[in-house]
Structure 1
Amino acid sequence: MHDHRWAQDVKDSVRCVGALLALLLLIDCGSGRFTLLRGALWLALALLLFLVLCPARVSAGENWLASRRLLRERRIRTDLLVSVRYLDGVSQPLRLLDAFGARVEIDPDVLVHNPQLWHRLEKSARRSAADGLLLCGQTALRRLSARMDRECALAVFKVSGLE
């Protein structure tokens, strides 16, 4: 199973990059300063922005979780988790580390919007904790679990018209 919103997120990234490129080229052509070199520069800038905006594709299976970017895939064993923690920053990605030293960084929103991915991760993380492997991360998992419960309750209220 994988992130079902990934394709839409990629399309949104392409739209954003395309709009920026079109705007830059339009301004350049309107000012009369457009050259092939400047066009190539704007194209390179747009491609760089796409590399930044393109989301990782998160997928999970029985006892594993993977995050695939454009050039690389990282995979961990979720039944052998030793650490789960939030990283500093604006988006606060979640870093998962397994007993073999493999690590994956994912956006917690991916788990919020894909409960089946969260269920698989939580089930394996519980097994890791029960086996005594998960030494660092109980707080992060509880925090994420509380967020999942809150989002689920809000969705129920919204569907029932009680928001």
Structure 2
Amino acid sequence: MEHHDGTRMGVTAARPPGRGSVAHDRRWSADLHHSARCACVLLGMLLLVDGSAGTLTWWRGVMWAALALLLFLVLLPARVSAGDGWLASRRLLRTRRIRTDLLVAARPLDGVARRLVLRDALGARVEIDPEVLLRNPCLWYHLAEGVRASEASGTLLCGTAALHRLAERIDRETALAVFRVSDLE
């Protein structure tokens, strides 16, 4: 349906989520399926090799299945969600939640897997992958709003430089994605 000015009804501009909205990691289910596929491929290869060698027994099959399950649990991604003033990371057995408007520290951990450790004034701690924030602008929006509130209230004492570097990286990657989509690169 068209309006008198030529715009279509129902099309809205992309904007940050409103009050009370909750943002989730949009690629979590794809990462979950990828973890399951890796575990199944490992199980299939182990059973195939063991069966070809003629040494496959029921207890060896159970052992290979346990090994594949262990791989799945290691690869299982955390489910990250955020709302107004909070960020949560849910693993298999535990959900960790922080108040982003009461942040006291943010520390990047470099290593095999990059991590961002956030700690609030209530003593809660969350560890997330910075790539999740890069892939999900709504999650980053909620975290950035909380960081601004923490900086304004003076509770964020450690890690502002790391968060500003992360913000610059996310802004740069977002701008490059916009250029790629619009064929301006």
TM-score bin, normalised by smaller chain: over 0.9
Identity %: 63
Q: Which residue of 2 aligns with 1:100?
A: 122
- Unpaired runs of 5+ residues, structure 2, are 1-22
SS in 2 for 1:34: coil
1:2 matches 2:6: no
Counterparts of 1:84-163 in structure 2, within 5 Å, are: 84-163=106-185
Alpha-carbon RMSD = 0.8
> What CA deviation, in whole Å up to 9, does each residue of 1:20-69 have, x standing for no partner?
10011011101101011111111111111111100000001110100000
Normalising by the residue count of structure 2, what TM-score does the alignment of the two structures yield? 0.86
Equivalent residue letter for 1:91: A
SS in 2 for 1:90: coil
1:64 matches 2:64: no
The number of aligned residues is: 163
Shift of 1:150: 1.3
Structure 1 segments (4+ residues) deviating >3 Å: none
- Unpaired runs of 5+ residues, structure 1, are none
Q: Distance in 2 between matches of 1:5 and 1:133?
A: 32
Shift of 1:162: 2.9
Higher alpha-carbon Rg: 2
Counterparts of 1:22-61 in structure 2, within 5 Å, are: 22-61=44-83
Q: Which residue of 1 aligns with 2:105?
A: 83
Structure 1 or 2: larger helix share?
1
Normalising by the residue count of structure 1, what TM-score does the alignment of the two structures yield? 0.97
Q: Distance in 1 between matches of 2:52 and 2:70?
A: 24
